[in-house]
Amino acid sequence: MSDPTNAPGPRAQIPVTVLTGYLGAGKTTLLNRILTENHGRRFAVVINEFGELGVDNDLVVDADEEVFEMNNGCICCTVRGDLIRIIGGLMKRRDRFDGIIVETTGLADPAPVAQTFFADEDVRRATKLDAIVTVVDARHLPARLADSPEAEEQIAFADIVVLNKMDLVTPEEAAEVERRIRAINPWAEIRRAVRAAVPIESVIGRDAFSLERILEREPEFLAEGNEHEHDSDVVSVSLEVERPLDPERFNAWITQLLATKGQDLLRTKGILHYAGEDRRFAFQAVHMLADGDFIGPWREGEPRRSRIVFIGRDLNRPALRRGFEACQAEAPAAAGTDRT
């Protein structure tokens, strides 16, 4: 009665899209577009970020998708075992989604992430790497290629490059950025975008990952113990405060901080609780370019505290902590605590 090709689950491999790109390029914006567009497909999402506190999970709009947030290290290093375990767990519920999206930390070389889908026998049987999609910040790419090997590696392994933030560059700068991308990876398809607005069909369901091409570029791709290094100068500082923030104090502090330390601050992102406000405020910055907006109400029973993560070089944790704590609104008189 039923088609025998549908009977054995293991035969139908689940497509996996790896979403990568340097810090602040617009990966989460693209992910939100995929999750909210009306395409009729369901996705399980695995999010990994660099830092002690998880923030990306809050920046992803509320959706029906499964969000697995792993913030105990880079997905291409210590989290590899978690990724295999999570995909194994997902396979037990494979009828609930049509594809898997893995959003990697901005500091990840995507090669070891892709390795996971070939090195583990169970994962390889159950899934199929559909494409590595690299989101590139058109304005900051030249600087990133100069100081971060990860940025080059992310382009080198891309099947599709989303050249984002095109509104921030001139036509001449855009042409030069494309030339730099082509010099690294002549095979990648380049899609220009503003706010990561590309047709979903251009990044999902492409069957674009070519193991042959990757092996041609890096013969040791599947070798055991293929080591890579992170930029050891790059660190993350994660801060959290209990009391609501005074928006004026926070704006004054963050404006001054970005103006003086913006070159060293690769990425700043936070979920903030403003005094007298029932909605969460999402703050993001790349170097000194900042953006922020309310992203909906706090969830029922969710502790209302403010969290911020800085990723960059030469970060002074005590000074950042003092500054962030000083942004808190005055405690109610009854509490009797004076924090200045």
Dump pLDDT digits (tens) for 82-138: 778 888 888 888 888 888 888 887 776 676 677 777 777 888 889 988 998 999 999
Answer yes or no: is pLDDT of 207 > 50. Answer: yes
Instruction: Pick the more confident residue, 224 or 329.
Output: 329
Q: What is the pLDDT of residues 40-91, one digit of tens each?
A: 888 888 876 555 555 555 655 555 555 544 443 333 333 445 778 888 888 8
Which pLDDT tens digit goes with each residue over 270-328?
889 999 999 988 887 867 878 788 877 887 887 888 988 887 778 899 999 999 999 99
Q: What is the CATH number of the domain that holds 280?
A: 3.30.1220.10
- Structural domain span for residue 117: 4-209
Confidence at residue 69, expressed as pLDDT on a 0 to 100 scale: 46
The confidence score (pLDDT) of residue 319 equals 96
Write down the pLDDT at residue 223. 46
Q: How far, in Å, CA of 208 to CA of 144, rounded? A: 26
Task: Judge whether 103 and 46 are in contact, CB under 8 Å.
Answer: yes
Do 268 and 174 fall into the same domain? Answer: no
DSSP H helices, 218-265, are 247-261
Residue 265 counted as domain residue: yes
pTM over 0.85, yes/no = no
pLDDT mean across residues, the chain: 78
Please say which residue of 151, 180, 209 terminates a domain.
Answer: 209
Instruction: Indicate the number of domains in the chain.
Output: 2
Q: What is the pLDDT of residues 169-193, one digit of tens each?
A: 999 999 999 998 888 887 788 999 9
Other CB atoms within 10 Å distance of the CB of residue 270: 26
Q: What is the residue whose two structure tokens read 């690299």?
A: 134
